[in-house]
Amino acid sequence: MSAHSDTSVAGDQQPAINSQAGAVEVKGNMVTMMSVLLHSTDLQQIETSLADRVKQAPDFFSNTPVIVDFSRVEITETFNFKALFKLVRNQSLMPVAVRGVIGELSDRLQLAGVPIVETAASERSDTTDRQTSNSRVGRTSSLVVDKPVRSGQQVYARSADLIVLTQSNAGAELVADGNIHVYGALRGKALCGVTGDSDARIFCTTLEADLVSVAGRYKILEEIPAAVRNKPVQIRLSGEQLLIEPL
Amino acid sequence: MTTTVAVLSGKGGVGKTTVCASLGLGLALQGHKTAVIDFDIGLRNLDLATGSHRRILYDFINVLEGEAALGDALIRNRHCDTLYLLAASQTRDKSALTEEGVGRVIQQLGDAGFEYILCDAPPGMEHAAKLACHFADQAIVCVTPDTASVRATDRILGLLQSHRIDNQPDTLHEYLLINRVNQFHLDSGAALTTAAILETLAIDLLIEVPECNRVAAAWSEGKPVLADTESAAAVALRNAVAILSGQPIKPVVGEVKPAGLLGRLRRR
Ligand SMILES: Nc1ncnc2c1ncn2[C@@H]1O[C@H](COP(=O)(O)OP(=O)(O)OP(=O)(O)O)[C@@H](O)[C@H]1O
Ligand SMILES: [Mg+2]
């Protein structure tokens, strides 16, 4: 759409008014989606722990689409997928696809019409591997946004840092493969290192976000300590832990 | 030289039509030949606000479809003969609104010597609202001082920005009009302050219009509230007219005006 080939600023874009284009347009989209990563195949256990998680932020999770990720568990022939999806839906999450299924199981799910998404290369490897695959080679540029990023807009900096000169507002989403800098209030969601760079960081002048994430680890509003809210901070990963530190 | 102004909002019912009618009348009273166009097809209201509702022969859609000449569809205002209305159709489908057609009408109005064209948009940023902005030099975005309205405003400012990135050079200037400012609600903390709204939306303020119980009477009389000498809202709206047309403004009694901002609002 705009001058950037590698990066895009998207709202709910509708085709240009009165365009003569066909009835559909097929577009590539980069969507950040939450996943439910299973550590157990016991439905009872899954239900309890998912309910716990959702209870912490019911608004945040209401009708959120999720990918159910089986990559950390061993699935048996008899596993009841139907019951699993049902219990996920009961927590007002919307399972839209599965990930991390292989072989015959994958065929079976496909036959049942369950969409399967590929596991991203950067996520397939374990933490140590990820470090090496995360070399900054290929991160060539940064995307500078000089207008406020508003509710309903998503800005994605592909293979780049995202630099917002003013602010982002509630309902906006900042997404970057690299770092995110916001020289003003950071509201809405900010996800850096989305393709797996665990060295990526978020910097902002005032932290007012609903969700912040580095390489897939995230914290929601309720988990952000009051001491760092409305403060200048940096957000980074230390091992598996997401740290929010005053600047 | 024609200046085209779109009047928009995120949420409905925040006062677009009230504002559009008053600004139109104010500019016309200064002697500028002014047209107000109702883009709210199917839910027309600007005819009521300007007291022209019983005199509509042809409407905007008739003109777009080539069923009437523009000159025959323009309705001259009863109170001010430099103010004209192009009414929305109440019965027809808004799909008749096309970029080409709207562009042609705006061009014709310019050729006919209209100095100001005010477009009263439906709420949100759907087809008709986009078209109302498409040819505009300025957009007045109306908001009421509450969280829901501010959020919706932020949303349409974003959509407006995307639309412009896709379709036209970045020449449109947006101003915020905060309507129904209520001192009582401000004091009790029930309403958002202007400072808080401007901080969130990060756009220039045109004016704050107070809550005013004469607005309803103006609607039922079919005479824009700007003409009401007793109305507090009218004072603010007259100042908005002055700012739009580059005249000096009268200070609004009892309110602190951010002078620095107003200075920047002079017509480019
Ligand atoms: N400053 C004000 N003080 C008091 N009442 C007001 C004020 N401004 C608008 N109103 C009232 O608010 C109502 C809605 O106004 P109006 O029709 O102008 O809004 P709108 O944004 O055009 O609505 P829509 O989105 O439906 O087109 C009307 O009843 C009007 O009388
Ligand atoms: Mg209206």
Query: Which sequence spans correspond to the domains of chain B?
Result: 3-265
Which residues have C-beta atoms less than 6 Å from ligand 1? B 9, 12-18, 40, 45, 123, 179-180, 209, 211-212, 215-216, 219, 233
Which residues are CB-contacts of B250 (< 8 A; sequence separation ≥ 6)?
B235, B238, B239, B242
Chains A–B, number of C-beta pairs less than 8 Å apart: 56
Instruction: Indicate which residue's Cα is closest to atom 14 of ligand 1.
Output: B13
Domain boundaries, given as residue ranges, for chain A: 34-119, 135-246
Give the pLDDT score at A106: 80
Going residue by residue through chain A (247 aa), what tens digit of pLDDT does each one get?
Answer: 333 333 444 444 433 444 455 777 776 666 667 788 888 888 999 998 888 887 776 666 777 788 888 888 888 878 888 889 898 888 888 888 888 887 777 888 888 888 888 754 434 333 323 333 333 444 458 899 988 999 988 899 988 999 999 999 999 999 999 999 999 999 999 999 998 899 999 999 999 999 999 998 999 988 999 999 999 999 999 998 999 999 9
Euclidean distance between CA atoms A161 and A147, whole angstroms: 16
User: Which chain A residues are closer than 8 Å to B201 by Cβ?
Assistant: 148
Report which secondary-structure segment, H or E, holds A176: strand A173-176
Q: What phi and psi, each to the nearest 5 degrees, are found at residue B178? A: -95, 115
Residue B240 has pLDDT above 80, yes or no: yes
Return the CA Rg of chain A. 19
Which residues of chain A have a Cβ shorter than 8 Å from any chain B Cβ? 1-2, 9-13, 16-18, 147-153, 166-167, 169-172
How many angstroms separate the Cα of B101 from the Cα of each of B3, B96, B108, B122, B135?
18, 8, 11, 18, 11
B107 touches chain A (CB under 8 A): no
Q: Is the ipTM of this complex over 0.85?
A: no
Report which secondary-structure segment, H or E, holds B186: helix B183-188
- Which of B259, B264, B210 shows the shortest CA–CA distance to B237? B210
B158 touches chain A (CB under 8 A): yes
How many angstroms separate the Cα of A147 from the Cα of each of A119, B100, B116?
34, 29, 28
* Mean of pLDDT over chain B: 89
Mean pLDDT on B186-204 = 92
Strand A7-10 versus strand A154-157 pairing type: antiparallel
> Which of B17, B213, B223 is the pocket-test mutation for ligand 1 (most atoms within 8 Å of CB)?
B17
CA angle B51, B57, B62 (to 5 degrees): 115
B202 touches chain A (CB under 8 A): yes
pTM to 2 decimals? 0.70
**Distance between B65 CA and the closest CA of chain A, angstroms:** 15
Name the region of A60 (left: φ>0; alpha: ψ -120 to 50; beta: rest). Answer: alpha
B147 touches chain A (CB under 8 A): no
Is there a contact between B18 and B223 (Cβ–Cβ < 8 Å)?
A: no
3-state secondary structure of B14: coil
Number of CB atoms found within 10 A of residue A146's CB: 8
- The conformation of residue B95, written as its DSSP 8-state character, comes to G
Give me the CATH topology for the region B3-265. Answer: Rossmann fold (3.40.50)
Nearest atom in ligand 1 to the alpha carbon of residue B11 is 25
Instruction: Indicate which residue's Cα is closest to atom 18 of ligand 1.
Output: B15
3-state secondary structure of B38: strand
Could B202 and A172 be called an inter-chain contact, meaning their C-beta atoms sit closer than 8 Å? Answer: no
- Letter for the amino acid at B67? E
Euclidean distance between CA atoms B103 and A162, whole angstroms: 37
Class of domain A34-119: alpha beta
User: Which chain A residues are closer than 8 Å to B99 by Cβ?
Assistant: 17-18
Mutate to test the interface with A, among B162, B173, B176, B198 (most CBs of A within 10 A): B162
- Which of B262, B258, B237 shows the shortest CA–CA distance to B248? B262
CATH of range A135-246; options 2.160.20.70, 1.10.645.10, 3.40.640.10, 3.30.1330.20: 2.160.20.70
The gap from C-alpha A186 to its chain's centroid, in whole angstroms, comes to 17
Strand A202-214 versus strand A233-238 pairing type: antiparallel
Burial class (CB in 10 A: 0-12, 13-18, 19+), B184: exposed
Q: What phi and psi, each to the nearest 5 degrees, are found at residue A66? A: -135, 155
Percent of chain A with pLDDT over 70: 78
Which residues are CB-contacts of B188 (< 8 A; sequence separation ≥ 6)?
none
- Which of A122, A117, A110 shows the shortest CA–CA distance to A66? A117
User: Which chain A residues are closer than 8 Å to B202 by Cβ?
Assistant: 148, 166-167
Give the pLDDT score at A168: 95
Give the pLDDT score at B141: 97
